[in-house]
Structure 1
């Protein structure tokens, strides 16, 4: 697996306590280990490169045994390669001007606030910091009040390749801004606003084996309090909502995936008795994309439309905790 690029952004108006920073690093280490383990597990069930070469040779041999000539096989390969090449990023964007860098934002996750802004924003989770990661084939930048990911993930051989991109963010609800609850219950329900679209497609080279283009999106949400050198989760603990965005496995299959909408994280309800006096509640949110590509020409485009070249943009606005639920 290729090492992802990473970036961390800290809100200059908020402090990240040392014990919370330590917990955040541990949570990131767990995430990275889970991703690496899932990639290794997926790869363990697929043919090796040597086995793929053998399978390709056997398929060509079988074609010859039923009367298909070498010239026909060669012409078929050339035709399939030409069809796949037309869908590649280089062919579709060779006449386009480079996309300019977006403006730099100090706190890209703080925009689009919801709810009343009275007093000290009682009950609002304030953005503290964010972490971003993306595959080296992609680019990532801040602009237009969102974090953007753009580019093309392309498989250029018959092997299985895993790719990842996304963001995680920490939000804080200070103890002195936690509103009272008549029922003793609270609910946290963050959401993400996204713009853009994806395009998933599989290759046409059936001689090399299977062609896959798969993509899953995770929306993770947890609430916790740093206590006794560790953390205590509130409510049911960490929540992970998985959405299958693409699951293509037929040769030459293609699908456009619109992403411009509001996506809701799984909500968390907890009791007032779980809170600690004078300790903040911390929210961890994550939007992550896991991609699997197999087969020459299989791909996932994040900004493939030459008419506008919009990347995939996302933001998690600050939100208010609900009381009396």
Structure 2
């Protein structure tokens, strides 16, 4: 599709960007002593409805519904451009993970399922239960078969995550390539680099051998597998130099330093998320096209994550300072 095909859609999401929560609003929420006041601000910002007002008790449900609504709205605006499936496939694979783990434990965790994927949660549940691949992409079918097999052999639920993530990004890469849009392809490439870095950090912390990481590494990013493997025996301070040429260098140096010093992954994950927001801001220079729609969804995802951080922090009685430390950059 040409950029001119998105004239109305681009104009519409630009108008919606003005309704995004500002960093100042989020900061004020962290300072608020009354969680009901925070919920009122969020209700005014469009989270929740008259029949289902956002509260401290139901905020997870309301945010999940809001995310699904944002995705549906932008998909419709994009005339169902397959490129936007890059944001929908993670929900599909999240559902696949939830269903397989619940099945292995003999429990029902349907409340954790998401409706923002390319396949409804009920269809995915049926596919898993019946081991049917009729409604699945080729990669989803492979993920289902491999995750079941690997979990049966290892009894390690984390392997379900790793297998599903690998195939999820295979679907995402296919959608990005099909878009023939350099901005979308660049975003996906950076996204994969951040996922690989977070996996690299966690696998090292678990004390797993290098070949374990080799098996869960996701191809398609700018950072080659050998760069990670060449840093496997180093602490992050030593590894920093090897990542200097890449966009994730700051996450390695600053986030890695926190991991070396305290074992805390919070800063690394925050910087990785911020890198994606910073990249998405490049779309502000594009008048119309697929880019504004992609950046708007990134902004909305980031906003929902910020709201979860604030409300979860308030419910856990965290200090405003600690909550702010966890907040990501906003799109503004």
- TM-score after normalising by structure 2: 0.21
Structure with max Cα Rg = 1
Tell me: higher relative CO, structure 1 or 2? Use CA pairs within 8 A at least 6 residues apart. Answer: 1
Determine which structure has the larger strand proportion and give its number: 1
